[in-house]
Structure 1
Amino acid sequence: MAHPAHEDTIQLVKEIFRSYLKERNQRQTPERFMVLEEIYRAEGHFDADDIFFNMKNAGTRVSRATVYNTLDLLIECGLVQRQQFGKNQYYYERSYAYQQHDHLICTDCGVVIEFCDPRILEIQKLMEQIYDFDVEAHSLHLFGKCRDRKACEERQKTGDKIKSLSSSN
């Protein structure tokens, strides 16, 4: 599972975001930077409502629209990635200074397992050579079912949202 960002990373992404907003004549509001900080202090995947309610529960006054609009800006400038794990809802994760990883997704309970396998990068490099193509990013989602049916059924009953589990090999 991705762990919260270090303070130096947070300061760096704030500078990147500040430059991005300035270049596009967008307002540099405190709320936008609070959303960015909340994202980089969070773990794993989250949806826009997770960010909104975490901020609201912490006493931060920010509108749902600001969260959604800021997420769009953060995606545009490459600081956040949007994922859709087979449902109609988008999930987000921070993308600056984080290792490329891929996902296993249970189609029953929605659990998401992040994994990183260097062989995928080797395949990517080989495809670049074979097809004379420069890959800028990739996304790999493998869909299936949990083998631990009991845990899967429990997650379905409780209605747990997508949880990120980590398995790095």
Structure 2
Amino acid sequence: MAHPAKEETIDLVKEIFRSHLKEHNQRQTPERFMVLEEIYRADGHFDADDIFFNMKDTGSRVSRATVYNTLDLLVECNLVQRHQFGKNQYYYERAYAYQQHDHIICKECGAVLEFCDPRIQEIKTMMEKIHDFNITGHSLHFFGACEDIENCTRREEIQKKQRAKVN
């Protein structure tokens, strides 16, 4: 059974997306809304291929180009956040109705851990006062390596995905 709050959020983000597409004279295709739903039903961070393969595995006939283009549109209208944790790979996450948080990234395996610390909000407030500045958002990433790199949580999953992309 679907979670009612999640369904309400999905309905709301669809409306926001619909308005954005209309305002920018973009087509409102069912595929674009399928990508949006896939993202808002998923948890955590993902790359474009994660979305593409998840959709393909569930029988959706959405092209990889549609996924990439839709992600760009969703970033444009602030429904999805784009992060570049590594050198050249983008990761995405939902942006609407989700608590502000920051990231710890393993440079060995790519694992991303989210954390929220109220002291960061206090620093933001203090910086606004000191610099007479209105801060509207922030991004904080800590980079390092998993403590036990041999048993790293996502190492096997990432290696499997990389092998699948090669084949």
* CA–CA separation in structure 2 for the residues paired with 1:50 and 1:40: 13
Query: In the alignment, which residue of structure 1 is the partner of 2:14?
Result: 14
Match of 2:81? 81
- What is the TM-score when the length of structure 1 is the normalising length? 0.86
Q: Is the 8 A contact 2:108 2:149 kept in 1?
A: no
- Indicate conservation of the 8 Å contact 1:52/1:62, yes or no: yes
Letter in 2 for 1:75: V
Which letter maps to 1:71?
A: L
Gaps of 5+ in 2: 162-167
Give the equivalent residue in structure 2 for 1:72: 72
Letter in 1 for 2:32: R
Label 1:158 to 1:129 Cα distance change in 2 as closer, same or farther (>3 A).
closer
The structure-2 alpha-carbon separation of the partners of 1:82 and 1:24, relative to structure 1 and needing over 3 Å to count, comes to same
Give the whole-Å Cα distance in 2 for the aligned partners of 1:158 and 1:131: 42
Distance change (3 Å), C-alpha of 1:11 and 1:103? same
Structure with the higher helix share, 1 or 2: 2
CA distance in 2 between counterparts of 1:39 and 1:26 reads 20
Give 1:160 shift: 6.0
CA RMSD across the alignment: 2.1
After TM superposition, the structure 1 stretch with the greater mean CA deviation from structure 2, 107-116 or 67-76, is 107-116
Shift of 1:157: 9.2
Residues 153, 137 of structure 1: alpha-carbon distance in 2 compared, 3 angstrom cutoff: closer
Q: Structure 1 pair 33/151, CA: closer, same or farther in 2 (3 Å)?
A: same
Taking the TM superposition and a 5 Å limit, the aligned residue runs for 1:138-149 are: 138-149=138-149
- TM-score, normalized by length of structure 2? 0.87
Q: Percent identity?
A: 74
Distance in 1 between residues matched to 2:13 and 2:152, nearest whole Å: 36
Count residues with an aligned counterpart. 158
Distance (Å, rounded) in 2 between the aligned partners of 1:59 and 1:26: 25
Q: Is the 8 A contact 1:14 1:36 kept in 2?
A: yes
User: Does the CA contact (< 8 Å) of 1:35 and 1:51 recur in 2?
Assistant: yes
In the alignment, is the contact (CA less than 8 A) between 2:111 and 2:154 conserved in 1? no
Report the 3-state secondary structure (helix = DSSP H, G, I; strand = E; otherwise coil) of the residue aligned with 1:97. coil
CA contact (8 A) 1:103 1:114 kept: yes
- Partner SS, residue 124 of structure 1: helix
State the match for 1:37 in structure 2. Answer: 37
- Higher mean alpha-carbon deviation, 9-18 vs 102-111, is at 102-111
Q: Which has the higher contact order (CA 8 A, sep 6+)?
A: 1
